[in-house]
Amino acid sequence: MSVSNYPRSVPEIISDLFSQLTTLLRKETHLARAEMSENIVSLGRGLGLIVGGAVLLIPALVILLQAAVVGLTEGYGMPSYWSALLVGGAVLILGIILLLVGISRLKIENIMPNKTVHQLQRDASVAKQQVSHDHEPRRAA
């Protein structure tokens, strides 16, 4: 933006304001799209890794839980149904806790374009300062 020594007319100021606002909105939209795309790709990768890990962990967990039931049955002489109920109940409680923690972390704030929102707030502040600067009364020297 060029600064000149002569006062600009209101139509020139308004035209310049709309031109700059259009350019700013176009650039901010581009930035928001890029940031959202980056966040969604990151979220997709994370979900892919979670699914891959779950596919491998489920069979391993089943085998370990069966071993725990057998261990309680043979090691402590507990009936197998009580061993299975005890192990299953403990795993159920742990699973519910993990599920609730995971759900609490999958919030919309994690994919929002925070950088763009912050930049828009800064742009609005600069625009307010510019408008107030343009409307300041000029003093004669």
Of 25, 31, 46, the closest CA to residue 102 belongs to 46
| CB-based burial, 122-131: b 16+ in 10 Å, e otherwise | ebeeeeeeee
Residue 14 scores a pLDDT above 60: yes
**Are 72 and 87 contacting, i.e. CB atoms less than 8 angstroms apart?**
yes
**pLDDT for the residue 60:** 94
Percent of the chain with pLDDT over 90: 38
| Amino acid code (one letter) for 135 | H
Instruction: Kindly report, residue by residue over 48-103, the tens digit of the pLDDT.
Output: 999 999 999 999 999 999 999 999 999 999 999 999 999 999 999 999 999 988 88
Arithmetic mean of pLDDT over the chain: 85
Helix axes 10-76, 114-134, angle to 10 degrees: 160
pTM of the shown model: 0.46
